[in-house]
Amino acid sequence: MDEESTYTLEFEKPLRELQKQLDTLQSVSKVSDVDSAKEIQAIEEKIQAKKVEIYSKLTPWQRVQLSRHPKRPYSLDYFERIFSDFNELHGDRRYKDDAAIVGGPAFLDEAPVMVIGQQKGRNTKDNLKRNFGCPHPEGYRKAMRLMEMAERFNLPIVTLIDTPGAYPGIGAEERHVAEAIAVNIRDMSTLSVPIISIIIGEGGSGGALGMAVADEVMILENGYYSVISPEGCAAILWKDRAAAPKAADALRFSPADLIGFGVVDQIIEEPVGGAHRNYDQAAKNMKSSIKDALKRLNKKSQKKLLDDRYARFRKLGVFEDQAAVS
């Protein structure tokens, strides 16, 4: 990978500078007899230290930028690395196939599972097909069809969440995207097989929740899960989309906050600098979290699984009950 071009975000500027110095030194040492090994080593160490410094204390807004990084691994990148023999199944059997959601049976080592993910595009052409990861109602209906199939054949379900939100379009409204999401939320709460949902990038509001009513909800270290995009929140409350960093702070969606609120059960660590710097490592971490969770969930009886899932969401919310106090 071309290291220099990977430091593209504003807060990665110091790294970009150091990398430039390193590249210059390396190219000079190649064509001259000057031994710059020591200098090169010094800069490499500096880069490493700077990386740790920058990425260990990211602000919520910086995490949002990482979660949207154009080189970030998407659902299919993880499917390929975590599961074997993924067979994509298409269509909602009602209207069409929505390429912003992909899914089908696959194997986790030996065990069959149903995997479903929200899928962004890697380039412009791909993004037209994937609609930038913004699903239409048929995507949610396809996901539900596959999840019901999983229940019928007793396969655990793994969903990967990565969407800015469900698509705000005319067709989406005409075909009732709100209803499609609502039905998924309701029906996922009663599926009798284990469900694991992992937010791998953007967890955009209802569009994310429509595939994330699970027994265990996890998030990658640099993912975010929010009721509204920081830009949307900024536009409404500050009347200025540029206030997005402020909104990102106010919305309290850092992984630690999400754990504190009980919305997320586990944070999956990413390679230093973000999942896009090492797909294999990110996938490896995720795979081990999935396997551990399945071990836990497979021990539960069907009744306990459903009772626990209901209780998990039932208790979410912070309010005061004055009747209970008095």
Partner 1 sequence: MALFGKPQYSTVTVKKKDIPKDLWTKCPKTGEIIYNRVLKENLMVVPNSGYHFPLDARARIESLLDAESFAETDSGIHSLDPLSFNATASYPQKLKANQKKTNETDTVISGTGTISGQPVSIAVMDFRFMAASLGSAAGERITRAIERGLEQKCPVIIVSASGGARMQEGILSLMQMAKTSAALARLSQAGLPYISILTNPTMAGVMASFASLGDVIIAEPEALIGFAGPRVIKETTQQDLPSGFQTSEFLLDRGLVDMIIPRAEMRDRLSILLQAFGKNTASPGEDD
Could you list the residues that contact partner 1 (CB under 8 A)? 166-170, 172-179, 181-183, 185-187, 189-190, 205-206, 209-210, 213, 225-228, 233, 236-238, 246-247, 250-253, 258, 261, 263, 309-310, 313-314, 316-326
Shortest reach from residue 183's CB to partner 1, in Å:
7
Cα 241 from chain centroid (whole Å): 23
- Vertex 302 angle, CA 298 and 303, to 5°: 135
For 236, counting Cβ atoms within 10 Å of its Cβ (0-12 exposed, 13-18 middle, 19+ buried), the class is exposed
Between the alpha carbon of residue 182 and those of residues 133, 178, 207, the distances in Å are 19, 6, 10
Shortest reach from residue 62's CB to partner 1, in Å:
18
Shortest reach from residue 192's CB to partner 1, in Å:
11
What are the residues facing 106 on neighbouring strands?
113
Q: Are 74 and 122 in contact (CB under 8 A)?
A: yes
Closest to partner 1 by CB, 20 or 186: 186
Closest to partner 1 by CB, 251 or 293: 251
Looking at residue 129, its amino acid is: K
Shortest reach from residue 205's CB to partner 1, in Å:
6
Closest to partner 1 by CB, 10 or 321: 321
Shortest reach from residue 171's CB to partner 1, in Å:
9
Shortest reach from residue 75's CB to partner 1, in Å:
21
Is 267 in a helix, a strand, or coil?
Answer: strand
Closest to partner 1 by CB, 136 or 277: 136
Looking at residue 140, its amino acid is: Y
Closest to 117 (Cα-Cα) out of 143, 155, 83, 89: 143
Closest to partner 1 by CB, 13 or 171: 171
Q: Are 115 and 106 in contact (CB under 8 A)?
A: yes
Closest to partner 1 by CB, 31 or 318: 318
